[in-house]
Structure 1
Amino acid sequence: MYKVLTTIVLLISSMFTVQAASVSPYQTLETTGNSLFNRIAQQQQELAKFPDLMRTIVEEELMPHVDYKYAAFRILGKQLKKTTKEERNKFADAMRHYLVRTYATALASYTDQQVIYEPEKSFEGKRVVAVSTRIIDKDAPEIEIQFKMRRNKKTGQWKAFDMVVEGISLLESKKAELNRKIQQQGLSQVTLELASIAK
């Protein structure tokens, strides 16, 4: 038990060290991506038996680097001012679970494709940076994915808040879909629906 606790403490410490050192959105994305894709590749046998393991991988490897709360508030847009703090938090929590499910489903088709990250560019003075990646599969067309990264004012840490696949923004698509529903049904009902989809 002591060894297990020590290992957990060391892992958490190393995570914070990596995050503190990752002052670049490019470095943050590449470090996170490599860790995520390597783990998926290594656990192919387990994933074949237990597909839900992908959600655990996404939770542990990807979500600490996703600014789901900012994404949720962006989706609410003008509706944000009309909501209470409790409503916003419940919606953000439902959005987090929805993103875990969405990313897990998208990553289910990943086996061991090559991922090429955009070379680092100057980002001085910027709070939002778009970083491009290319997924290369010898048996399928190349896919371009752009991650929109945002720097936290307090921590200086960069996190992703949107994913643009072949020019289509996941955030903007969800915003267009949910805004109509929120206006018609109310935020509480949409939050419940979102939470049920994410199960």
Structure 2
Amino acid sequence: MNRFLSRRHFSAWVLGIACSLGVVGGAHAADESADVFIKRVSTDILGAIKADKSIRNGDVNKIIVLVDDRVMPHVNFLRMTASAVGPGWRQATPAQQKRLQEEFEILLVRTYAGALGQVSDQSIFVKPLRAAADDKEVLVRTEVRGKGDPIQLDYRVEKAADGSWKVYNMNVMGIWLVENYKTQFAQEINAKGVDGLIASLAERNKSNARASK
């Protein structure tokens, strides 16, 4: 995480991660626009956070179960991980790519789980969508509104083969999630290779797990 993000901006990152990883149900996915999709997801996630005290308190195990059972099928996490890893992704074996996806998912969930309580008093305002009806990739611009000035929170979404929308990147105040990690991951790969990045992610996840106990 970029060290210059304030606590409010970090809260927006958390909300964005929750929304981009938190689609609840897909019944409407094939017949809704990208902005309606983001609004629905945001409303669902904020409602879930407010209704579940354990999630607000950062119960990592419960959040991980929620993500695994109800979330990941609605995210193009393969694309997200491949983009974050960058050129090193093409160098990785299928087994290494699988490990990278697993460790990156755990990293995101554990990194932001402890801060979920910060977003319970916030809401999302979706700006008018500028996209053609047949666009397959769309930028949805939103604002996180709560205490203080609104925070820019944008999503890049793509239309899957079944007509549903999937999030593959997000931006808070000019900082894109994938690009933020891409810089870190490139340094690890240049220094230690793909296996070195996997080992580094695994160690960070173990450290986060110990800290959450």
**TM-score range relative to shorter protein:** 0.7 to 0.9
Describe how 1:100-119 pairs up with structure 2 within 5 A: 100-119=109-128
User: Do the aligned partners of 1:68 and 1:95 also contact (CA within 8 Å) in 2?
Assistant: no
1:65 aligns to 2:74 (yes or no):
yes
Runs of 4+ in 1 over 6 A off after TM superposition: none
Partner of 1:129: 138
1:186 aligns to 2:193 (yes or no):
yes
Percent identical: 22
Q: Gaps (5+ residues) in structure 2?
A: 1-23
Cα 1:16–1:60 change in 2 (3 A) is: same
Partner of 2:93: 84
Q: Give a deviation string over 1:124-177, Cα, whole Å, max 9, x none.
A: 343321111111113x3321111111222x223211111111011111010011
Shift of 1:110: 0.9
Give the AA of the match of 2:156: K
Q: Give a deviation string over 1:176-196, Cα, whole Å, max 9, x none.
A: 111111121111221132133
Describe how 1:1-199 pairs up with structure 2 within 5 A: 15-22=25-32, 24-43=33-52, 45-47=53-55, 51-52=59-60, 53-56=62-65, 62-138=71-147, 140-152=148-160, 154-198=161-205, 199=209
Give the AA of the match of 1:69: L
TM-score with structure 1 setting the length: 0.78
For 1:162 and 1:77, how far apart are their aligned partners in 2?
14
Give the AA of the match of 1:15: G
User: Do the aligned partners of 1:69 and 1:92 also contact (CA within 8 Å) in 2?
Assistant: yes
Cα 1:85–1:55 change in 2 (3 A) is: closer
Shift of 1:55: 4.7
The higher-RCO structure (CA 8 Å, 6+ apart) is 2
For 1:110 and 1:125, how far apart are their aligned partners in 2?
33
**CA-based RMSD:** 2.5
Alignment: residue pair count: 182
Give the AA of the match of 1:73: A
Cα 1:88–1:166 change in 2 (3 A) is: same
TM-score with structure 2 setting the length: 0.73
Cα 1:92–1:32 change in 2 (3 A) is: same
Give the AA of the match of 1:86: A
Shift of 1:49: 5.7
Give the AA of the match of 1:18: H
SS in 2 for 1:186: helix
Larger radius of gyration: 1
Cα 1:56–1:119 change in 2 (3 A) is: farther
For 1:144 and 1:17, how far apart are their aligned partners in 2?
28
SS in 2 for 1:115: strand
Shift of 1:20: 3.3
Pick which of 104-113 and 92-101 moved more: 104-113
